[in-house]
Amino acid sequence: MASCHPLAIGTALLENTTMNRRSFLSLAALPIGGIPQSTGNKEYIGTIDDALSPEFSFMGMKTLASASNSEIAAIDTALPPSANFYSGSLDLPATKQPTRILLADLSTGESYLFADLNQDRRFSPSETFKFHPVPQRPKAIGDCILPIPIRTGPFKSFPIRFRVFPNQTQPGGPSDPGKRAIFYSTTAYIAAIVDIDRKQIRIWCEYDIEHPEQADAHHGVIGMDLDGDGVLAPFPSPERATARGEPVVFRTGEKYFSIAKVDLVSRTMTVRSHQQRDYLRVELKLGAHFPNFAFIDFAGHSHTLSDIKADCLLLDFWGSWCPPCLGEFPVLKRAYQTFKPRGFDILGIDSNESSAQARQCILRNDLPWLQATSESTSEFADKRLDISTYPTLILLDKKRTIISLDREGPNLHGDQLLETLNHLLPFGPQI
């Protein structure tokens, strides 16, 4: 699922299926918010990896068009003539001008990416990258890593992960004839393995390409590999959180830690222990109880989550600045109209904008369900839930247990939401 910064939406990012807020901290964690840090807290130090780690999730989707004969002729690698070629250009991190790329789909099922990294209008063998299968994404053809050279700072390259799917099964549906979608990341991480009480744990901290000589563990995305699979799980996940100028506390087992410091000179990452009371985060995972919270609607009326009586309640975290959020509204309206008589309801939770902007969007799209203002929910959504990707959809049952998340449980996007609700709420006319 693609994602991007809500305040900096470029041409490619407008094609996203999901939007991601700029900060990227990934841990089962939460800002401490002024809690004093005891001098008795233990510290653990790990050595930073020599190379940056690429993001595993995706912040962008680019639609490529059929390549011209002149573009194909610029490839210096021999490929079967029966291959299908698609081209486009991307504004990538650490580059001063758009990078020209070509995608080749072979009749064997293999795919290759070509990137004009040196801007010489040709694609040399060193600028040729094969997509390899990824066990965690069995539906994809595969991934490839594009190393963008970095001229300053302690790292030699900024890795961009690209992923392609078979056209008929790619997120967002098949591309139009003569076009092809490619997904890519825009974030890379400083990574280290820290020995915490005899347990080797991988830690990530977002790398700011605009300040290559610096690192700040209290801004951006940080993460911890809590399940030991070597992959930083996408939002929403206890493995990932967004730091907003404060330390972030995360949990592993019954122990609690924050990233205290990232030192690029000594190439070390320091982790500090905390008490349980410092951990305030609501962990979003299947089977967990979703806590009650208060909010104000756009008419100025006060509510709590427990006021909403429904057998299935969908929480929709959205913003009018987010094209994919707007793209979900038609199917949400269909779901509301079809399943409201069966016990279904929706609570919209606006994010990162004024009430006036959101109100205009609600009226323009004729959204009939209850909506919470950003002002009344930002503390809960940002700090306790750490919602950083939009839209985020969470489905709760009658007891307010989480029965589906964006990436876990029954699918909640597009027409598959209707299928999910038809299964969960079987009484009444079947669709």
DSSP notation for 378-404: HIIIIIIS---EESEEEEEETT-BEEE
The predicted pLDDT at position 13 comes to 35
Q: Can you state the angle between helices 323-339 and 415-424, rounded to 10 degrees?
A: 30
Dump pLDDT digits (tens) for 69-96.
Answer: 999 999 998 888 789 999 999 998 888 8
Torsion of CA 262, 263, 269, 272, to 10 degrees: -60
Average pLDDT of every residue of the chain = 86
Q: Are 121 and 100 in contact (CB under 8 A)?
A: yes
DSSP symbol at 357: H
The predicted pLDDT at position 335 comes to 96
Closest CA to 28 of 256, 298, 358, 228: 256
The predicted pLDDT at position 339 comes to 96
The predicted pLDDT at position 329 comes to 94
On the question of pLDDT at 343 being above 60, the answer is yes
Q: Between these two residues, 374 and 7, which has the higher pLDDT value?
A: 374
Q: How many CA atoms lie within 13 A of 116 on its CB side?
A: 20
Q: Which tokens hold the place of 401?
A: 């247990």
Of the pLDDT bands very low, low, confident and very high (cuts 50, 70, 90), residue 12 is very low
The predicted pLDDT at position 221 comes to 93
Of the pLDDT bands very low, low, confident and very high (cuts 50, 70, 90), residue 322 is confident
> Which residue ranges does the chain devote to CATH 3.40.30.10?
294-424
Task: Burial-class residue 178 by CB neighbours within 10 Å (0-12, 13-18, 19+).
Answer: exposed
Of the pLDDT bands very low, low, confident and very high (cuts 50, 70, 90), residue 119 is very high
- Per CATH, the number for 294-424 is 3.40.30.10
The predicted pLDDT at position 182 comes to 93
Of the pLDDT bands very low, low, confident and very high (cuts 50, 70, 90), residue 173 is low
Percent of the chain scoring above 90 in pLDDT: 61
The predicted pLDDT at position 345 comes to 97
Q: Each residue of 187-206: b (16+ CB within 10 Å) or e?
A: bbbbbbebebeeeebbbbbb
Dump pLDDT digits (tens) for 52-75.
Answer: 999 987 668 899 999 999 999 999
Q: Which tokens hold the place of 252?
A: 């592993």
Of the pLDDT bands very low, low, confident and very high (cuts 50, 70, 90), residue 172 is low
d(CA 260, CA 222): 11
d(CA 394, CA 384): 15
The predicted pLDDT at position 388 comes to 81
Mean pLDDT for 278-289 is 90
What backbone torsions phi and psi does residue 364 show, to the nearest 5 degrees?
-65, -35
Q: Is the previous residue joined to 159 through a cis bond, with omega within 30 degrees of 0?
A: no
Q: Which residue has the tokens 């939770």?
A: 349
The predicted pLDDT at position 306 comes to 95
164 torsion bin: left (phi>0), alpha (psi -120 to 50), beta (else): beta
On the question of pLDDT at 410 being above 60, the answer is yes
Of the pLDDT bands very low, low, confident and very high (cuts 50, 70, 90), residue 137 is confident
